[in-house]
Amino acid sequence: MKLLKIGIVLLVVAGLGFYFVSANNSAKLAEEKRLEEENEKEKISEQARLMSGYDWRVLDVQNDRALLLCANVIEKRPYNKDEKDVTWETCELRGYLNGEFYNKLPGDFKAKIAETKLANDNNQWYGTSGGNATTDKIFLLSIEEVVRYFGDSGQLKKRPTSNILNNDIRDQYSSARIAKEVNGDALRWWLRSPGLRVSGPLTFESAAAVDSAGHVCLDGNAVFYLNGGVRPALWVDVKSLTFAEPTAESLVKSGLLFLGNSDWKLAGEYFGRALDIDPEYAPAYMGKLCAALKVNHEDGLEDHTFAENEDYQKALRFADADYRAKLEGYVKASEEKRMEKEKMLEQISAQIREQHERGDLSEIVVHMGGYDWRVLGVQNDSALLLCVNIIENRPYNKEKKDVTWETCGLRGYLNGEFYDKFSEAEKAKIAETTIQNENNQWYGTSGGNPTNDKIFLLSIEEIVEYFGDSGQLKNRPNSNPPYIGDQYDSERIAKDKADKASGWWLRSPGSNSNGAACVFDKGGIYVGGPTVNSGNCGVRPALWLNL
């Protein structure tokens, strides 16, 4: 009996040992398979980057095809420009992606893209029609695809009731869904699925989106929202991809594609990888220089001074005779462009002084930094310039919180990234000015400290001073919402890149410290202002030009 018990115990121990060994082997095999799949995805992603000039994330591989999603938001664009009912099939963004965007891709990459039939499901929370199925080469993800590939917490099927507005999915996968522009700013990005259709006095169609915090917004944004980010997706034929080891030449070719797409960081990385392979490859040094100066092509170097730059000097050292002559030509063109720009700016300065003496500045348009500027006035040998058009839509501050002009994100952008777009000759003419930031005259909201700026926004007081004063700023009208609407409204109207009238920010505080004043699309001055994180207001920079 004792021997029998011992035998049984040994059998149990052996069985458990076999179970744990089998379990460990299964876990090991599963991990090996996962790593193999991740390695395959990374190879596909790298090849797609090399061929296209965009950074891609591989979401899925099936039947020798891979689903790629742009790792970054490539640009801001409305789902549809007009305020009307649309579906993915009929929206303008679909036409753009499968037309202009597709046609800009390199030919060898386009040949790998598979045409795919897409189901466009109705919105599961609101029932809004998704429209007909479509056949596309480039598309946006749907709500269902975002949930499938980024993680499913069950909230799509079982709508949560804990959210304040109960209109989005907020879960443990939100951080994975955050997408950024190439400058590093997180941005809301469109999905192709329909959002909530709003009916009533204001009727408009929405499209779903993922917001800057990674929440899936099933109610979405109005289709004409200008600040929606575009994150293209596509299926690529894996068998047609070649996975050869990159060369210095192929890496530079890819770096040039990234330059063309203004992805300065990845461009610099690819040029650096090329130099790791061949430290004497001159075009890679020039690519690094272009990425550092944020120009899309070597021809754009003429707006910069770079003759003493280390990368340029190394390119000269390693270039052959023909390429060296070309590089020296860039320096000569840069110097000629600088002298030409200086001469042109002096002529403009003389014209502004002459017209100011005559009392008429209305006909003068100054072209600087790639934009047209209107002359508002002249003081102490300086001219106040205001951009003729809205250059882009951008929040006053990314986060909704108490800020002043001194502390807001938009001030940092204008005096940093935007200012850097000007040529050296233009920068030399832009005056750094002490800006007074007055309290809001209707609400008493603090304007904060004075600031020293090269680029700024106009204040409420400056708008009234330079566009016309009907007395309403001093004598607040009884309107709801409270705003200044008068005979000067038409003068204050500004248009965006789509040639559509749009609202634009002022630097003055609004009715409280988490709002900022603005000019309405029809020219009225909204003294109370929207919240600072609103993406619907445009940017119209101002500066003082030394005469």
Q: How far apart are CA 472 and CA 527, in angstroms?
A: 11
Residue that has been written with the tokens 């020219």 in this structure: 523
pLDDT of 440 reads: 93
> Is the link from the previous residue into 395 a cis peptide, with omega within 30 of 0?
no
pLDDT of 302 reads: 86
Task: Give the H/E segment covering residue 483.
Answer: none
pLDDT of 182 reads: 82
Cα torsion 38, 43, 46, 51: sign: negative
Residue 6: count of CB within 10 angstroms of its CB = 10
Contact 55, 71 (CB under 8 A): yes
pLDDT of 432 reads: 95
pLDDT of 162 reads: 62
CA torsion 263→256→103→59, rounded to 10°? -50
- Residue 203 CA: distances (Å) to CA of 165, 219, 536: 20, 14, 18
For every one of its 547 residues, what pLDDT tens digit does the chain have, with 9 covering 90 and above?
556 566 665 555 556 566 655 656 666 666 666 666 677 888 898 999 989 999 999 999 998 999 999 999 999 999 998 878 899 999 999 999 999 999 999 999 999 999 999 999 999 999 999 999 999 999 999 999 999 999 999 999 988 776 555 678 999 999 999 999 887 888 899 999 999 876 654 456 899 999 999 999 999 988 988 788 999 999 999 888 777 788 999 999 999 999 999 999 999 999 999 999 999 999 999 999 999 999 999 988 988 889 999 999 999 999 999 999 999 999 999 898 888 888 888 888 888 888 888 888 877 888 998 899 999 999 888 999 999 999 998 899 988 899 999 999 999 999 999 999 898 889 999 999 999 999 999 999 999 999 999 999 999 999 999 999 899 888 888 877 778 989 999 999 999 888 889 999 999 999 999 999 999 999 999 999 999 988 789 999 999 999 8
- Quickly count helices (H) and strands (E) in the chain: 15, 26
Structure tokens that stand for 199 in this block: 């009916």
Amino acid letter for position 92: E
- Residue 348 CA: distances (Å) to CA of 74, 112, 341, 355, 544: 36, 51, 10, 10, 14
Q: At what angle do helices 248-260 and 2-52 cross, to 10 degrees?
A: 70
Helix (H, G, I), strand (E, B) or coil at 484: strand
pLDDT of 448 reads: 95
Structure tokens that stand for 264 in this block: 């300065």
pLDDT of 232 reads: 97
What are the residue ranges spanned by the domains of the chain?
A: 45-239, 247-335, 365-546
Q: How far apart are CA 281 and CA 297, in angstroms?
A: 17
Q: How far apart are CA 537 and CA 519, in angstroms?
A: 9
Q: How far apart are CA 516 and CA 405, in angstroms?
A: 9
Contact 390, 502 (CB under 8 A): yes
Amino acid letter for position 526: Y
pLDDT of 462 reads: 96
pLDDT of 11 reads: 56
pLDDT of 354 reads: 85
Superfamily of domain 247-335: Tetratricopeptide repeat domain (1.25.40.10)
Which of 183, 158, 171, 162 lies closest to 213 in space, CA to CA?
171
Contact 373, 352 (CB under 8 A): no
* pTM: predicted TM-score of the whole model, two decimal places: 0.78
Q: How far apart are CA 37 and CA 121, in angstroms?
A: 29
Which of 323, 179, 334, 181 lies closest to 252 in space, CA to CA?
323
Residue that has been written with the tokens 């994330």 in this structure: 57
pLDDT of 361 reads: 81
